[in-house]
Chain A
């Protein structure tokens, strides 16, 4: 049976792993290759690196970290952040990534999804969507159908609706959707299951839920009510609140199919 995946996410800037709360207030958490290897030993099914500043200077440092990581871990490695062209993607694949994740660049140049998919296969292209339902002016969350796509690390509203963009990304050949709830991100108050379920229903490709993981119950909810195919978390693992193996054992006890032993 196909298992639900637990993905450890490392937010990387200038060659170090950091984790912010709602996209600000970064705290240093260590070396990417070291942490990735530790997460895999801890039972994570996949690793995601997000280059959250994606500056030119930081780029080579990131590629070097990808290279060092890919020599040590033999589970899928996804790299996102700052990929704007086929050449950017090629460098990341050559360094050892198995998938790339496109965010802002997919919105501004949607043809990039097809372009990279044609060269590296659709399964290698993840479209990351930063979604927002709350706003300072309107603190009550809007319906999932009205959730808005943000780009530029969550700083810029696009006016695009999340469900429409997810469908378009699928049509253009994305292999997976990585859906981050900006409202939930870093809060450890639980995933946005309502939004995840709406996106999962809207597309036929797998949906990875991100943002808000804090407890085992949050994962149970996002895999059941949220219909997520995979769930991504960062801080819950970095500070050893739990490891993926313990989490997966607990989820298996709730009847969810998991890769165990791992």
Chain B
């Protein structure tokens, strides 16, 4: 089962439509129990970092962490990428998942913000998610905060310096851009994620016996 996490941050319709166009019918859910049965978990999100607080309050964050530790694959999009970092200066009081210990920061005043439009990916490491993309592929961004380039970064994009456009470490994958809005290249990235093999995951109903 492919779960799309609904935490009332922005608009899930576009992600769901793109997945359907790829032949997948995802389950849109805010239920931690449903997330504990997912093979793949997609966390979209546009808007304010503060909205991610609901993920902890609702128990979804713990469910995601547990399920990904069991072998489920995670794909964060936009704020979904920022959330798996330590946090963001957009909402300093709210913690991220801290898969990566760095903090997201706002673009400097020297450039227009939000960073809106098609910018190019500079592929810096081999990646399952970005496999098969042409060099300098353009993808669609819209955001005011960015994660720094880290060891897990597989693609950077330059806008007032390089930032993490895509990260990948173990079962954790995330992109700052919107693959669902990035034309054929974006659909290719989503398809790469959907095509990754599902590991033999425990079934919670059975293991509870």
Query: Nearest-CB distance from B192 to chain A (Å)?
Result: 15
* Interface SS majority for chain A: loop
Q: Does B63 contact A (CB under 8 A)?
A: no
Complex contact B114–A98 (CB within 8 A):
no
- A residues within 8 A CB of B181? 74-76, 98
When chains A and B are docked, how far (Å) is the Cα of A45 from the Cα of B117?
8
Residue-wise, chain A 31-73 has the 8 Å CB interface mask toward B (1 for contact) of 0000000001000010000000000000000000000001100
B16-51 to A contact mask, C-beta < 8 Å, 1/0: 011011000000000000000000000000111000
The residue of chain B having its C-beta at the shortest distance from the C-beta of A73 within the complex is: B183
Are B9 and A121 in contact, CB atoms less than 8 angstroms apart?
yes
List residues 57-100 of chain B with CB under 8 A from any CB of chain A.
none
Number of A-B contacts (CB under 8 A): 99
Kindly identify which residue among A70, A94, A122, A229 contacts B117, using a CB–CB cutoff of 8 Å: A229
Contacts of B180 in A (CB 8 A): 74
Check: B116 CB closer than 8 A to any chain A CB. Answer: yes
Q: How far is the CB of B159 from chain A (nearest CB, A)?
A: 6
CB-CB under 8 A from A262, the residues of chain B are 138, 183
- Is B56's beta carbon under 8 Å from chain A? no
When the two chains form their complex, are residues A75 and B140 in contact, meaning their CB atoms are under 8 A apart?
yes
A213 at the interface (CB under 8 A from B): no
CB <8 Å contact, A204 and B109: yes
- Chain A residues 214 to 262 lying within 8 A of chain B, measured CB to CB, are 229-230, 259, 262
Q: Which residue of B lies closest to A126 (CB)?
A: B116
Contact B143 A205 (CB under 8 A): no
- List of B residues within 8 angstroms of A1 by Cβ: 119-120, 158
A175 touches B (CB below 8 Å): yes
CB proximity of B30 to chain A, nearest CB, Å: 16
Determine whether A21 belongs to the interface, using a CB cutoff of 8 Å to chain B: no
Give the residues in chain B near A75, CB-CB below 8 Å.
Answer: 140, 181-183
CB-defined contacts of A206 to chain B, threshold 8 Å: 112, 114, 116-117
- A130 lies within 8 A of chain B by Cβ: no
Residues of B within 8 Å of A186, CB to CB, are: none
Known: A74-B182, A74-B183, A76-B181. A96 touches B14 (CB 8 A): yes
- What distance in Å separates the Cβ of A15 from its nearest Cβ neighbour in chain B? 20
User: Contact: B120 with A204, CB < 8 Å?
Assistant: no
Name the A residues within 8 Å of B116 (CB-CB).
123, 175-176, 206, 229
Q: Which residues of B contact A4 (CB under 8 A)?
A: 117
Q: How large is the interface on B (under 10, 10 to 19, 20 to 34, 35 or more residues)?
A: 35 or more
* B20–chain A nearest beta-carbon distance, Å: 8
SS of B interface (majority): mixed
Is B13 touching A121 in the complex (CB atoms < 8 A)?
no
Who on chain B is nearest to A176 by CB? Answer: B116
Residue of B nearest to A45 (CB): B118
Please name all residues of chain A whose beta carbon is closer than 8 Å to the beta carbon of B48 when the two chains form the complex.
118, 121
Report chain B residues within 8 Å CB of A93. Answer: 11, 13
- Min Cβ gap B29→A in Å is 17
Scan A112-128; emit 1 where CB is below 8 A from any B CB, else 0: 00000011111110000
Q: Nearest chain B CB to A38's CB is how many angstroms away? A: 14
Nearest CB in chain B: distance from A72 CB, A: 8
A contact residues around B20 at 8 Å (CB):
71
Task: Kindly identify which residue among B11, B13, B118, B184 contacts A2, using a CB–CB cutoff of 8 Å.
Answer: B118
The reply to whether B46 and A204 form a contact with Cβ atoms under 8 Å apart is no
Does A3 sit within 8 A of B, measured CB to CB? yes
A95 at the interface (CB under 8 A from B): yes
From B139, which residue of chain A is reached at the shortest CB distance? A259
Q: Given A175-B142, A204-B109, do A96 and B13 touch, yes or no (CB 8 Å)? A: yes
Complex CA–CA separation, A206 to B113 (angstroms): 7
Max chain B Cβ within 10 angstroms of own Cβ: one of A40, A98, A118, A206: A98
Residues from chain A with a CB closer than 8 A to the CB of B112 are 204-206, 229
Give me 26 A-to-B residue pairs in the complex whose CB atoms sit less than 8 angstroms apart, sorted by A's number.
Answer: A1-B119, A1-B120, A2-B118, A2-B119, A4-B117, A40-B183, A71-B17, A74-B182, A74-B186, A75-B140, A75-B182, A76-B140, A76-B178, A96-B13, A96-B14, A96-B17, A119-B47, A121-B48, A122-B47, A122-B114, A123-B46, A123-B47, A123-B114, A175-B116, A206-B116, A259-B118
Among all A-B residue pairs, the 7 with the closest Cβ atoms: A121-B47, A121-B46, A123-B142, A259-B118, A259-B138, A2-B119, A93-B11
